[in-house]
Amino acid sequence: MRKKRTWMLIGVGVILILCVAGGLFVRNQMRTVQAQLTGTGEVVTAFVGDLSAGTTATGQVTAGQTAQLALPTSGTVAEVAVQVGDVVPAGDMLVRLETAVLERAVTDAEQALIIQEANLATLQEPATAVSIAAAEAAVASAQAQLDDLLAGPTEAELAAAAADVEAAQADVAAAFTRLNNAQNGASAAEIQAAQLALDQAQTTATQATEQHTTILATIQDGNAPAGMLDDAELAARVNVLQANAAAAAAQETLNNLLGGNPNDVATAQATLAMAVAQRNLAQAQYELLLAPASASQIAAAEATLAQAQANLAQLQRGPTAAQLMAAEVQVENARINLERARLNLENAVLAAPFNGVVTAVHVQPGELASGVLVEMIARDDLEVVLNVNEVDLSQITPGQETTVTLESWPDDPIPGRVRAIAPAAVSAAGSSLVTFPVYITLAATELPIRVGMTANAALELARRQNALLAPNGAIQVDRNNGTYSVILVQTNEQGQPVYETVSVTIGLRDGRYTEITSGIQEGDQILIPDPAATNPFGPDGGNGSGGGPFGG
């Protein structure tokens, strides 16, 4: 029983071996048939060479530099020096404002700075003896005025004020007499009376003068206590003035009576009116002396004294740190205002920031400058912005060279170089495609390129040197398994071609060639099958999946 089972196992094994051998035979026969049937086409040689792969992208020409120019200073436009399309170098004037107001502002700011600097210098200089003496005199005067208000008028001041009233009344009487004389003429009695009045007035004036002289001599000798004769001297001096005035009036009255009045009635009336006004003023001043000082007068006198004392104290101790700091701040503010005024004047001219072309002008002379006035682009700094698929982005780096063609001149390639890659993607509305802006700097060209033109660029993604290459048409692809193969062409002993399908590993490819990294060697003959050849095993060479060559 055991032997029988053994022989059965041996038989099964033999059958399996025969099946495998038969399958290999059938497969080889199928390959041979396939090779023979696909032997029509072009035989090429695998070779070593350089290969680069790339992608293309479309974009638009933009300016590397653009500017929307406005003035920081408002004002009325005096001149617009450019128009759309003008080529302007950097620094050229584009727009100028009216500057009369701005120039006056600079002048005013300069004067304000001079004043503040002078104030600071005055604070920093030490007080002079003259200024201190003047401040002390101001304090003494203010104190005396306050004391006078508090103490009230002296007997001498009252007497002097009463004498002023009497003298003014005498002037009124004399003026009235002159008016009568001008109107009626003088009698002998009037002339005699005027002469007696003159003699008496002159005698009184002489006596008053002698009395005042005696008091002055006594004060100068220093025999009397200090201050004792001050009121007497003041009263004597007032008496002298009044007596002299009365004598002069009496003399004038007599002269008019003797020689006739040279003035007309109108002049005499005016003189009388003036004398009455003076009499009324003297009377008011006398009454003011009699009235006690009011609270407001005392308060005003005290305030005047306090201010005078404060001024003296400040002169004696000099300015405080706070005062110096405040003055320095005022100087700095004035300096800043001057700088601002000068800057506003400088900013009244809008200049081109770079060499470029004017693309828009938004203002005319006479208008108020507001917002963007002029727009510019730099024509010498043109670039192309491409939208590159995110799949290819990892193989693009700044500095990478490229070639650009424009729709307007498709046969005139322009060298370019990748300047930058945008850090953020852009997505078209309604599309799942994600692209990144890539900025290409264009080389100099004679073409009249304009901003906004459509551009196409070829970007090299990778490069291989000394790579084993085969034409794309020779590569067969099994799309289901993701494998690649070529038809290797060899010669048998009879000198006839023999075709064998060989699996290969591919690398980089471009529009013509594919890199072969394993499976064949340099010099191997491979077949580019004729697409029109009939293949009974299907388009994939017998495996029934995928399809056809890798490329043509």
Residue 73 lies in a domain: yes
For 84-98, give one letter per residue: b (16+ CB within 10 A) or e.
Answer: eebebeeeeebbbbb
Q: 255 and 208 in one domain?
A: yes
Any domain includes 542: no
Q: In which domain, by residue range, is 453 found?
A: 55-65+376-462
Q: Do 224 and 247 have their domain in common?
A: yes
Q: Contacts from 285-289 at CB under 8 Å and sequence distance 24+? A: 285/161, 285/164, 286/158, 286/161, 286/162, 286/164, 286/165, 289/153, 289/157, 289/158, 289/161
Count of other CB atoms within 10 angstroms of residue 351: 14
Beta bridge partners of 63: 382
- What total of structural domains would you count in the chain? 4
Task: Looking at the structure, tell me whether residues 329 and 256 fall in a common domain.
Answer: no
Mean per-residue pLDDT of the chain = 81
pTM check: above 0.75: no
Structure token digits, residue 5:
């089972």
Do 325 and 394 lie in one domain? The reply is: no
CATH code of the domain in which 439 resides: 2.40.30.170
Residue 371, phi-psi category: left (phi > 0), alpha (psi -120 to 50), beta (remainder): left
8 falls within a domain: no
pLDDT in tens, 474-506: 999 888 888 999 999 998 888 899 999 999 999
pLDDT value at residue 225: 57
Distance CA 472, CA 506 (A): 11
What span, in angstroms and rounded, lies between the C-alpha atoms of 403 and 411?
12
Percent of the chain with pLDDT over 70: 83
pLDDT in tens, 159-176: 888 898 889 899 888 888
What is the per-residue pLDDT for 541?
Answer: 39
Using pLDDT thresholds of 50, 70 and 90, give the confidence band for residue 470.
very high
Residue 310 lies in a domain: no
Whether residue 233 is contained in a domain is answered as yes
Cα-Cα-Cα-Cα dihedral of 491, 492, 498, 503, to 10°?
-80
Neighbours of 132 (CB within 10 A): 13
Q: What is the pLDDT at residue 30? A: 41
Q: Answer yes or no: is 425 within a domain.
A: yes
Domain assignment present for 29:
no
pLDDT at 260: 58
Asked whether residue 84 is domain-assigned, the answer is yes
At which of 345, 363, 386 does a domain end?
Answer: 345
Q: Are residues 238 and 283 in the same domain?
A: yes
280 and 407 housed in the same domain: no
| Residue 378: predicted pLDDT | 83
Question: Do 112 and 223 share a structural domain?
Answer: no
Whether residue 391 is found in the same domain as residue 330? no
Beta carbons within 8 Å of 16's beta carbon, 6+ residues apart: none
Same domain, 323 and 356: no
Same domain flag for 264 and 385: no
Backbone angles phi, psi at 86, to 5 degrees: -70, 135
Q: Do 256 and 178 reside in the same domain of the chain? A: yes
Token reading at 481 = 């398994």
Give yes or no: residues 356 and 398 share one domain: no
Region 362-378: mean pLDDT is: 90
- pLDDT tens digits along 408-441: 898 999 898 898 999 888 876 666 778 889 998 8
pLDDT, one tens digit per residue, over 329-355 is 999 999 999 999 999 898 899 999 988
Q: In this predicted structure, which of 133-147, 220-234, 461-475 has the lowest mean pLDDT?
A: 220-234
